[in-house]
Amino acid sequence: MTMNLLEGRKLVVAVTGGVAAYKAAELVRLLGKAGAQVHVVLTRAGARFVTPVTFQALSGNPVWEDLWDARVPNNMAHIDLSRDADAIVIAPATADVIARLVHGLADDLLTTLCLARTCPLLVAPAMNRQMWEHPATRRNIGLLASDGALVLGPDAGDQACGETGMGRMLEPETLCEAVVRFLSPKPLAGRRIVMTAGPTFEAIDPVRGITNISSGKMGYALALACARAGAEVDLVSGPTGLAVPEGVRCTMVRSALQMRDAVNAVITGADVFIGVAAVADYRPDQAEEHKIKKTGDGLTLSLVPNPDILAEVAARPDAPFCVGFAAESRDLDQYATGKLRAKRLQMVVGNLVQDGLGTDDNRIVLYDADGRHPLPHASKALLADKIVEHLAGLLAAARPARSGA
Ligand code: PMT
């Protein structure tokens, strides 16, 4: 999670009485780490699971439990707390609190606060699977959503009661990401983006191959940033050890030929193509069916060129807005601008392999028709946001979003 993504945001996190309340402590910590000012409201049942002291320590703010809290001189805690809040997040939300919200009850601080709010409400249900599947809960969740609340989860899995099924609260990292996404500006709303990331692996025999040390971190960070900015993202990824970013559709492939097929399967109608993958330029002309045995003699591999996926996409009659990456070991300006022209791209992200290949940080320069735009050395997550900002500006000028987007 990038630091400062929630800088300047005020969030009310409400914790109700479920076993998942222990996960709310981590959620509060993550939201605070992302820069938010967090105020915790704890219901009486919630306080049976985790004490206010924990939330006070993690949020750095007093915890609110009582509608009649004497700390508020005008006795208006239910209004003051959410007055300038960006959102109220209820995590965990029990079946009981959901039912009470749906009926507009206002008999404690949390329900009164929700009824009196003007900010968005995000709800992360957590309950036993039979409670979740009960027609009353199904009905209540539908009503809550139609009243405008954003329902996050639940997930399926092992439950505290020993059963397995739907009803687990989403993990704190997933919830934090959902809050970030909800509050992020959406300059790419209505755009569909196809991207490649990671290395390719070109088989020599069943156990060996030609590959490179691309980790996929730059591409995955960019896919996440695009999704947060409101784009629909199709990521085609070579082999990496990374988790697929939240809200991104991902097709895993191995070789350059598979990557090209997977891109072609989704490229029609895309608004943008971004080639972050370090695609092998060559592959063995044929992979041996059986493991090559050591003979003691030298071994010569015969290589044939791989297709250039980015160049092929840019040459399509219905070519989307094309963004290439240029990974060089020297003369970055010269090679990157060369790629911008030769592949007829609208934008190139240039980096030196010694700065960015396999690392967590990178130093990049953006190239477009207006020239070069260097960015300071930073984490790939932060740089991904900067790339999205630049891309969104160019895209808006070149291809205004379709109406309704
Ligand atoms: O994955 P990480 O460890 O985070 O590292 C990130 C990165 C260094 C891999 C990334 O920032 C980067 O620079 N990616 C492009 C690497 C590369 O292959 O550059 P290139 O200059 O060889 O290729 C130029 C462009 O053509 C790239 O957009 C590439 O995806 C594309 N290409 C290249 C060859 C090919 N056969 N098909 C392609 O689509």
Q: Is residue 227 scored above 80 in pLDDT?
A: yes
Statement to judge: residues 251 and 226 lie in one domain = yes
317 Cβ neighbours under 8 A, 6+ residues apart: none
Q: What is the pLDDT of residue 405?
A: 44
Statement to judge: residues 165 and 241 lie in one domain = no
Q: Which tens digits make up the pLDDT trace of 304-346? A: 999 999 999 999 999 999 999 999 999 999 999 999 999 999 9
User: What percent of the chain has pLDDT above 70?
Assistant: 97
Position 233, amino acid: V
Mean pLDDT on 235-248: 96
**What three-state secondary structure class fits 55?**
helix
Mean pLDDT on 210-216: 97
Statement to judge: residues 227 and 346 lie in one domain = yes
Active site residue 161: yes
Q: What is the pLDDT of residue 138?
A: 96
Q: Is 2 part of a structural domain of the chain?
A: no
Statement to judge: residues 90 and 174 lie in one domain = yes
- DSSP 8-class letter at 278: B
Q: Is 230 part of a structural domain of the chain?
A: yes
Q: Is 386 part of a structural domain of the chain?
A: yes
Q: Is 5 part of a structural domain of the chain?
A: no
Q: Which tens digits make up the pLDDT trace of 100-148? A: 999 999 999 999 999 999 999 999 999 999 999 999 999 999 999 999 9
Q: How many CB atoms lie within 10 A of CB 34?
A: 22
Question: Of 166, 183, 200, which one is at a domain's C-terminal end?
Answer: 183
Q: Is 1 part of a structural domain of the chain?
A: no
Statement to judge: residues 365 and 219 lie in one domain = yes
Statement to judge: residues 229 and 336 lie in one domain = yes
Q: Is residue 151 scored above 90 in pLDDT?
A: yes
Using most ligand atoms within 8 A of CB, pick from 217, 276, 352 the residue to mutate for ligand 1.
276
What is the atom index within ligand 1 of the atom nearest the CA of 350? 13
CATH number, domain containing residue 36? 3.40.50.1950
Statement to judge: residues 71 and 157 lie in one domain = yes
CATH number, domain containing residue 275? 3.40.50.10300
Ligand 1 binding pocket (C-beta < 6 A) is 196, 214-219, 256, 275-279, 281, 306, 308-310, 324-327, 339, 351, 356-358
User: What percent of the chain has pLDDT above 90?
Assistant: 89
Using most ligand atoms within 8 A of CB, pick from 267, 279, 331, 365 the residue to mutate for ligand 1.
279
Distance between Cα 190 and ligand 1 center (Å)? 26
Which alpha helices (H) appear in 126-242, and where do they start and end?
129-133, 135-146, 172-183, 217-228
Statement to judge: residues 224 and 363 lie in one domain = yes
Q: Which tens digits make up the pLDDT trace of 60-111? A: 999 999 887 777 766 666 677 888 999 999 999 999 999 999 999 999 999 9
Q: Which tens digits make up the pLDDT trace of 12-71? A: 999 999 999 999 999 999 999 999 999 999 999 999 999 999 999 999 999 999 887 777
What is the atom index within ligand 1 of the atom nearest the CA of 356? 8
Question: Of 165, 183, 201, which one is at a domain's C-terminal end?
Answer: 183
Position 25, amino acid: A
Question: 114, 119, 161, 226: which is the annotated catalytic residue?
Answer: 161
Mean pLDDT on 209-215: 97
Average pLDDT, the chain: 94
Q: Which residue has the least CA distance to atom 24 on ligand 1?
A: 326
Question: Of 145, 163, 183, which one is at a domain's C-terminal end?
Answer: 183
- How many domains does the chain divide into? 2
Distance between Cα 197 and ligand 1 center (Å)? 8
C-alpha span between 152 and 91 (Å, rounded): 9
C-alpha span between 150 and 153 (Å, rounded): 10
Residue span of the structural domain in which 254 resides? 192-398
Q: What is the pLDDT of residue 75?
A: 65
Contact between 205 and 161 under an 8 Å Cβ cutoff? The reply is: no
Statement to judge: residues 242 and 378 lie in one domain = yes
Q: How many CB atoms lie within 10 A of CB 347?
A: 23
Q: What is the pLDDT of residue 77?
A: 67
Statement to judge: residues 257 and 360 lie in one domain = yes
Mean pLDDT on 199-214: 97
Statement to judge: residues 94 and 126 lie in one domain = yes
Q: Is 374 part of a structural domain of the chain?
A: yes
Q: Which tens digits make up the pLDDT trace of 253-299? A: 999 999 999 999 999 999 999 999 999 999 999 999 999 999 999 99
Statement to judge: residues 176 and 211 lie in one domain = no
Q: Is 404 part of a structural domain of the chain?
A: no
Distance between Cα 327 and ligand 1 center (Å)? 6
Q: Is 405 part of a structural domain of the chain?
A: no
Q: What is the pLDDT of residue 114?
A: 95
Position 127, amino acid: M
